[in-house]
Structure 1
């Protein structure tokens, strides 16, 4: 468990943040401790007034609002009752057990976590000292709670590492080896909240790597007509296996409506993150050795970019999706520009093949019989034939040959 403590001079701002998450169905208020009435009867005003009244007992204290988040390992799936018990024990141990506090369970990240809203003004008007609260009280409390509740220990692990997605090979779901819903949920909790995608195909480009697929069904199906969404496990041949699970059956409710909201938000964010993928693709073609989309995909892996090649049953490439695992952004090829689309990549491969053919033929043939490399019509008309011949061409061209070719071309000019 990882505990993060922040202080503020505005409890209203902290409360607004959590209540907004509730309205967006990304959080739920699961407990109200030391409040005069029951949780289900509390509205925003009553919650806020409780904190304001407590703070008014000592108006000399400016930073009187406390916002705490308790974060758990992605493998942990705690009930509301257990989370409430953990929150209560934690607050007791750091000296806030008698303070009014609200507990919110959040679903907007790749790991289970909850937020606690409280203040540090006691009923007698004295303040609870916040200086070094994390080191003096929170850390010992965290370690003791980990032991008491059998939680995954945070010691020796950086927070970023703790909540990062393990390598794909180690997280691919194998049907029958684990309970399907739990296995799918583990992948969804990471991918849905950490990767930035702006369409269902882009999301599936990531999910499919973990043998998970989000499916709307056929257009004439009941699921599609009702704007439903199913999550399926895929086998080693990328075919659905087992019984699909409705999105609404998962605790985080990753429904189509939920995804469409994320599509809009992510689409705005993606613009400034395109350069890493675009530069990597251009550099891959720069040395002239990439002669096929498969070779491009192999080269991009070293840059942390997974390339999904979408092909027809006849094997014709019709789409490309780039998954940048470094920035966690997903891009459809055409959204980056024409040269990064399926057609643009095929044309670049064809140009590289033509370049190598010219280098491996005699100078007279190069100057007389071969088409201009910039002749797009020639490339378009002969693309299939060029790519089929591509693998037979020798990649290696000596520097000495290149220098001779340049000198002879210059003389010809």
Structure 2
């Protein structure tokens, strides 16, 4: 079982999201906890008002809503309604929400069984439930105990079975025209935005584009960019934008630019412990053979669970590289790892810009007017470029290192005697 916990500012939005799923025919209302009437008589306004009245007891709690999803292994399709409700009740009790009002929905819009739980953070006495690190602490303990007591597939075993595939999102790639746009985008964002650790929009897009989705700020002259807006678009198989874009504010989780910028700051620290794994993997792959070309490096990185996303200009020249580590869910721009891992450095380390192993190029150009050419080397080195085999390199260097002949040299015997200088006070007759 895999758990995802999100907090929000609006009970209305979370409740409407789940109720709209029922209208679309992809979800059912399972039941409630700590409501005064039977589940069958719970109208939407009753579900909502019960929570609104309790959250009003503490207006200082701005993020007062909680939206939880419990995700089960794809093989666990036979879980009954009674068992799912029992799991939900047990989970809420173990994470400290057992006395809170909550609603349980089962969704059928993904490739695996899962339920959604809606609740609030304000207690009946007006105090606030602290959810700081609840996912790593209370939820993780509850998950392991529930897996044992209900005989569920452990999350760890599910990860091992996947063997870190490069398709970590359970949904298939979004194809425009086959799935309702808004729903398809939401399914991918729910996983990527919360599980991956990215620190910029290009890093986030390095993940999203693998599922044919783009977070787009628009051009710098556009109204969207000027107002710090954000659009989510669907891409075709060639990476072209298709269909009508969806505003971030129109999605229930509100993945706006402001929301993402807060994530950027949080993820900067969260991804630090995993930086060394990517660097070491690249270094070891490049050291394992004398020459590893870039396409080969990309394939070998994929086997290690790392996707290298290349950024090229319209002429096909590589100017950037981003590494998506699907094992640790961390994203790193090449320069963030260090100069050795930038696009330019990786090309050089892969030998993309170096000369071939069998030939070396030497260029000799006159840089000063009147410089003499060496006639003895003119047959070997010309003013223009000359390509020489490495076997002849030693001969060339020997000739280049010979001292230049001094044409003003005269033997001692041919030199005239120096005229002695007269001393002061002496005459020629002295």
What TM-score results when the alignment is normalised by the length of structure 1?
A: 0.57
Partner Cα distance (2:396, 2:344) in 1: 26
> Is 1:181 aligned to 2:182, yes or no?
yes
> 2:391 maps to which residue?
364
Which structure has the larger Rg over C-alpha atoms? 2
Alpha carbons of structure 1 residues 311 and 29: separation in structure 2 relative to 1, 3 Å: closer
Q: State whether residues 3 and 68 of structure 1, in contact with CA within 8 Å, keep that contact through their aligned partners in structure 2.
A: no
> 2:208 maps to which residue?
207
- How far did 1:230 drift? 0.8
Alpha carbons of structure 1 residues 343 and 368: separation in structure 2 relative to 1, 3 Å: farther
Q: State whether residues 311 and 320 of structure 2, in contact with CA within 8 Å, keep that contact through their aligned partners in structure 1.
A: yes
> 2:277 maps to which residue?
276
> Is 1:21 aligned to 2:23, yes or no?
no
What TM-score results when the alignment is normalised by the length of structure 2?
A: 0.55
Q: Which protein is richer in helix relative to its size?
A: 1
Unpaired runs of 5+ in structure 2? 17-31, 37-48, 60-65, 75-80, 106-111, 124-141, 361-387, 398-430
> Is 1:114 aligned to 2:106, yes or no?
no
Q: State whether residues 68 and 115 of structure 1, in contact with CA within 8 Å, keep that contact through their aligned partners in structure 2.
A: yes
Partner SS state of residue 309, structure 1: strand
- How far did 1:236 drift? 1.0
Partner Cα distance (2:2, 2:349) in 1: 48
Alpha carbons of structure 1 residues 369 and 209: separation in structure 2 relative to 1, 3 Å: farther
Partner Cα distance (2:276, 2:309) in 1: 18
Alpha carbons of structure 1 residues 90 and 327: separation in structure 2 relative to 1, 3 Å: closer
Q: State whether residues 306 and 323 of structure 2, in contact with CA within 8 Å, keep that contact through their aligned partners in structure 1.
A: yes
Partner Cα distance (2:264, 2:219) in 1: 21
Alpha carbons of structure 1 residues 276 and 358: separation in structure 2 relative to 1, 3 Å: farther
Which of 149, 158, 163 lines up with 1:161 in the alignment? 158
What does residue range 170-249 of structure 1 map to in structure 2 within 5 Å?
171-249=172-250
Alpha carbons of structure 1 residues 318 and 368: separation in structure 2 relative to 1, 3 Å: farther
Alpha carbons of structure 1 residues 343 and 260: separation in structure 2 relative to 1, 3 Å: same
Q: State whether residues 271 and 330 of structure 2, in contact with CA within 8 Å, keep that contact through their aligned partners in structure 1.
A: yes
Q: State whether residues 3 and 71 of structure 1, in contact with CA within 8 Å, keep that contact through their aligned partners in structure 2.
A: yes
Partner SS state of residue 322, structure 1: strand
- How far did 1:369 drift? 6.2
Measured on the aligned residues, the alpha-carbon RMSD in Å equals 5.0
Alpha carbons of structure 1 residues 100 and 194: separation in structure 2 relative to 1, 3 Å: closer
Partner Cα distance (2:10, 2:269) in 1: 19
Alpha carbons of structure 1 residues 301 and 38: separation in structure 2 relative to 1, 3 Å: closer
Q: State whether residues 229 and 246 of structure 1, in contact with CA within 8 Å, keep that contact through their aligned partners in structure 2.
A: yes
> 1:252 maps to which residue?
253
Partner SS state of residue 347, structure 2: helix
Partner Cα distance (1:326, 1:308) in 2: 16
Q: State whether residues 318 and 343 of structure 1, in contact with CA within 8 Å, keep that contact through their aligned partners in structure 2.
A: yes
Alpha carbons of structure 1 residues 362 and 336: separation in structure 2 relative to 1, 3 Å: same
> 1:50 maps to which residue?
none
